[in-house]
A = this chain, B = another copy of it.
Amino acid sequence: MTRLGVDYGGTQTKLLLADDDGSSIRTHTVDTGDLSDLAHAVRDFVGTDDVAAFGVTVAGTLDPTTGVVGTSANLPWLDGTAPAADLSRRLGIPGVAVHDGEAAALAEARRGAGQGIDDVFVLALGTGIAGAHVLGGTPRRGAHGAAGEIGHVRVTDADYSCSCGGRGCLETVIGGSQLGVRWRERGGAGGTARDVVAAVASGDEAAIAVLSEAQDGLARALLEVVALVDPSRIVIGGGVARSAEVIVDPAVRRARERATFHILPDVVPAALGVWAGAHGAALACVAR
């Protein structure tokens, strides 16, 4: 019996079939459509394989008990619905919904860069910052589903407003689009994380200052994670981490330099890339 992982993204949907022990058998990518389109795509992908269960990611807020989506910015037709129950009726297979960041963290911890380690903190540096503490192969949600929110650790006294309504959170100095905002504030052209990195390569002083602040912020947040959670390994992925030598590596070096009583564990890059979400969805559907 196989399991199906569906990473239901804003523009593309990734499908992954995994065997009993969670290893990937085959994968496929389709353009994202509504749940009827998705059911068709899944049937085509699965063919005659016998699928025991599926997991589907939700990019947005999700009540883990009921499987009902609060709001999904990129898939607004899911708001207030229970996509796993809907898809389950269409496919005749049991399924669960899982938060996309949690799915990716689960996959990295169990089958990716955290494999074999019991106590892994996984960060995804993207437009937003996702974090999850995976203990014994299961993400620790916390009492109110908010554990692991490293993106909202406060790392600077600068008056940068954050998407959460707070000030000076890690996201404000390293979030994909926030890097561009910080650059523009310093007289730069603005743009994406990639634009800032390119400007650094051509010696732009403002962009260099922006990246230095991002490195500082990440170093500080990593030290807070070590002080409060003390994981065995830290795994860092996401788009902003792709040029590791520009942001992540210097940040980890700074964290090691500033560590006092802290014991900084191995900090390693994520291993599953863009397939982590689909892989985690496949793993999640048997984990419960």
Which residues of chain A have a CB within 8 Å of any CB of chain B? 119, 131, 133, 141-150, 152-154, 157, 162, 164-166, 220, 223-232, 258, 260-263, 265
Do A144 and B224 form a contact, CB below 8 Å, given A165-B260, A258-B166? no
Q: Which residue in B146, B154, B162, B228 is a CB contact (below 8 Å) of A147?
A: B228
Q: Bound state CA distance, A214 and B113, in angstroms?
A: 40
Q: Which residue in B147, B165, B262 is a CB contact (below 8 Å) of A230?
A: B147
17 more CB-based (< 8 A) A-B contacts, given A146-B261, A148-B230, A154-B220: A142-B229, A144-B230, A146-B226, A147-B228, A147-B229, A148-B228, A149-B228, A149-B230, A150-B227, A152-B261, A153-B227, A154-B223, A154-B224, A164-B261, A165-B260, A165-B261, A166-B260
By a CB distance below 8 angstroms, the chain B residues around A142 are: 119, 229-231
Q: Bound state CA distance, A231 and B147, in angstroms?
A: 8
Interface of A is mostly: loop
B225 touches A149 (CB 8 A): no
The smallest C-beta distance from A161 to any residue of chain B, in angstroms, reads: 10
The smallest C-beta distance from A281 to any residue of chain B, in angstroms, reads: 23
Q: Which residue in B150, B261, B262 is a CB contact (below 8 Å) of A228?
A: B150
Query: How many copies of the shown chain assemble into the complex?
Result: 2
Q: Which residue in B146, B232, B262 is a CB contact (below 8 Å) of A227?
A: B146
Of A148, A162, A223, A230, the most chain B CB neighbours within 10 A belong to A230
By a CB distance below 8 angstroms, the chain B residues around A148 are: 228, 230
Q: Which residue in B119, B141, B224, B230 is a CB contact (below 8 Å) of A146?
A: B230
Do A262 and B146 form a contact, CB below 8 Å, given A157-B157, A229-B229? yes
Q: Bound state CA distance, A167 and B248, in angstroms?
A: 23
The smallest C-beta distance from A213 to any residue of chain B, in angstroms, reads: 13
A263 touches B230 (CB 8 A): no
The smallest C-beta distance from A4 to any residue of chain B, in angstroms, reads: 30
B230 touches A228 (CB 8 A): no
The smallest C-beta distance from A114 to any residue of chain B, in angstroms, reads: 12
Q: Bound state CA distance, A223 and B144, in angstroms?
A: 14
Do A143 and B166 form a contact, CB below 8 Å, given A149-B261, A229-B228, A229-B229? no
Of A142, A148, A166, A220, the most chain B CB neighbours within 10 A belong to A142
Q: Bound state CA distance, A131 and B145, in angstroms?
A: 22
The smallest C-beta distance from A235 to any residue of chain B, in angstroms, reads: 14
A263 touches B225 (CB 8 A): no
By a CB distance below 8 angstroms, the chain B residues around A164 are: 260-261
Q: Bound state CA distance, A52 and B40, in angstroms?
A: 65
